[in-house]
Structure 1
Amino acid sequence: MADLPTRFGRFRLVAFWNNRDGKEHVAMVHGDVMGADDVPTRLHSECLTGDVMGSLRCDCREQLEAALRDLGSRERGLLLYLRQEGRGIGLINKVRAYALQDGGLDTVDANLALGFRDDERDYAIAAHMLVSLDVRSIRLMTNNPDKIEQLEQHGIRVSARIPHIMRPNEHNRFYLETKAARSGHYIDLNGKQHLPEQGEPVIVLEEP
């Protein structure tokens, strides 16, 4: 564990190693989460193109920065950065999927064409990290119902969901619409709810 001052606030960085796949993951901890209930928590899967390179094909960097900004403003909060690039298919296959999307496929069909499920991520390591940090229950910052379901299957109590919706741009609107229409994400881009300015999250507490 080490201190990590950031432009979003002061965090502590806790590193984990998954002996099932040899990958390293980190938890960014703000405040005291040990033994705490209802800890605001974000599970963020690695996205090199978005998080680092600023890709407009997704909303990953906006989600990451908005989550850190929000968590850093609270009494306590937690972000788990999971090394599951490309929804778990890896960077090389992600680039291959991009090429298929350039040819007209959506993100789901591109993954299926490569022989993968639409989402290969496994949140068992996230559950292990939460148990190791002695977090008793979380309010999960997500639009993805599969994250809630998997965490609960692994014994994590999700007391509420915090929506985390970014304003789309011209390059990622179809990507976000596909998440909603085909992957069941809780995203409404049709004007039925107010969307924030780009890069700012919608934070509305909802029961799961």
Structure 2
Amino acid sequence: MFEFQNRPNAPHLLETGERVQLPTIYGSFELLPFMEIATGKEHIALTKGPVENKKSVLLRIHSACATGDLFGSMRCDCGEQLHRALQAIEQEGRGVLIYLQQEGRGIGLMQKMKAYKLQEQGVDTVDANLQLGHQADERDYRAAAEILRQLNISQVKLLTNNPNKKSGLEKYGINVACCIPLLTEPNPHNAFYLQTKEKRMGHLLGQLNFENHE
């Protein structure tokens, strides 16, 4: 259990909701919702076990992916990463999953579908965003860092293949002790997508085997 800490000197970024128990197929968690004051975006922190003032807390920062998380899309690895992260936290017995409303690497659902259409025409995921006038990745982790501070967590073990998440958290004062890979098996629908993330976005996917899907 943790207690919300009012920090009068901190920027008033988030409104905190009611903490509730959340039994899931992976185990029991506590859910605490947050809302960004400036944007109205709502985020979620799922916590397992004692995390307040603990070092090297296992953490997954997961950006919302309606297609992958809700519908099990095989075009990405998001849904599988989400479920594997919850399993890892349950196994560890202590940890946090922060679910951020940053659909489509920050461009939103409507623009993401336009990017999907371009990908169906052979454009890779990076160039699809660029052709639509966006950056390859527009996500920001300030809200995640503030959620961690409100949970009194300053050091984490980050479940990610994306080194930009590490730098994105450290930019806002969170100490990332290490990154732990969260690899999923490629399939014929997402192999090119994953290879693009490795080659053009620096994701650490060297252990994956793409030979059967090229």
Could you say which residue in structure 2 is the equivalent of 1:196?
none
Residue 188 of structure 1: how far off its partner (Å): 1.4
Could you say which residue in structure 2 is the equivalent of 1:138?
156
Gaps of 5+ in 2: 1-18
Within the candidate set 11, 16, 21, 2:39 is matched to 21
In 1, Cα distance between the equivalents of 2:209 and 2:189? 18
Could you say which residue in structure 2 is the equivalent of 1:41?
59
Could you say which residue in structure 1 is the equivalent of 2:127?
109
| Residue deviations 1:24-66 (CA, integer Å, cap 9, x gap) | 0000000010000000100000000000011100011100000
CA contact (8 A) 2:183 2:208 kept: no
Residue 75 of structure 1: how far off its partner (Å): 2.3
Deviation beyond 3 Å, 4+ runs, structure 1: 189-192
CA contact (8 A) 2:59 2:157 kept: yes
Could you say which residue in structure 2 is the equivalent of 1:118?
136
CA contact (8 A) 2:186 2:208 kept: no
> TM-score, normalised on structure 1?
0.90
In 2, Cα distance between the equivalents of 1:90 and 1:191? 30
Is 1:52 aligned with 2:52?
Answer: no
Is 1:166 aligned with 2:191?
Answer: no
Within the candidate set 24, 27, 50, 1:9 is matched to 27
In 2, Cα distance between the equivalents of 1:168 and 1:124? 31
CA contact (8 A) 1:49 1:55 kept: yes
Larger Rg: 2
Could you say which residue in structure 1 is the equivalent of 2:103?
85
Is 1:100 aligned with 2:118?
Answer: yes
Aligned pair count reads 192
| Residue deviations 1:1-38 (CA, integer Å, cap 9, x gap) | 00001011110001111113210000000001000000
Could you say which residue in structure 2 is the equivalent of 1:180?
198
Specify the code of the residue in structure 1 equivalent to 2:127. Answer: D
| Residue deviations 1:163-205 (CA, integer Å, cap 9, x gap) | 111111010000000000000011115659xxxxxxxxxxxxx
Identity across the alignment (%): 49
Residue 73 of structure 1: how far off its partner (Å): 1.5
In 2, Cα distance between the equivalents of 1:41 and 1:161? 10
In 1, Cα distance between the equivalents of 2:48 and 2:36? 23
1:128–1:190 Cα change, 3 Å: closer
| Residue deviations 1:90-123 (CA, integer Å, cap 9, x gap) | 0000000000001110000000000000001010
In 1, Cα distance between the equivalents of 2:53 and 2:207? 37
| Residue deviations 1:133-156 (CA, integer Å, cap 9, x gap) | 001310000011111001101000
Gaps of 5+ in 1: 193-208
1:142–1:190 Cα change, 3 Å: closer
Is 1:32 aligned with 2:32?
Answer: no
SS at match of 2:73: coil
CA contact (8 A) 2:76 2:193 kept: yes
Within the candidate set 166, 170, 194, 1:152 is matched to 170
